[in-house]
Amino acid sequence: MSEGREKMSAEPEQPMSYRRALLAFGNGDLGRGQQNLFMLARRLEEARRKHSVFAGDRFEAVRVISREFHELCYAVTHESHDRRLDEALDVATTAMRFVNGEHMTKRKKRA
């Protein structure tokens, strides 16, 4: 293991804070981080209203994410900047719903 890696692993990880999360979401820009986090939160609310059932199982969930990713790929080559950002938020939203376990039944969800 290199010296740099040893040093990194020897340092205790700092607990996550709201400020640190915003900095991460904004690539070091606190205001942009808040804007990005709020955009994702709004998109999650909209998605849950529009599609209360995200997916029936993990395979369907991956298909949903894949479809959104393909729409993003198309937008990158054929559509406007705003449309690309819109599709990127759709990918992030479906991925976050997967992370949240919204594709699992209540009895299958992790504690």
pLDDT 10s digits, 70-94: 999 999 999 999 999 999 999 999 9
pTM confidence score: 0.80
Task: Output the average pLDDT for the chain.
Answer: 89
Q: Which has the minimum average pLDDT: 17-21, 24-28, 61-65, 105-109? A: 105-109
Residue type, 111: A
Nearest to 92 by CA among 111, 65, 73: 65
Task: Tell me how far apart the alpha carbons of residues 90 and 84 are, in angstroms, rounded to a whole number.
Answer: 10
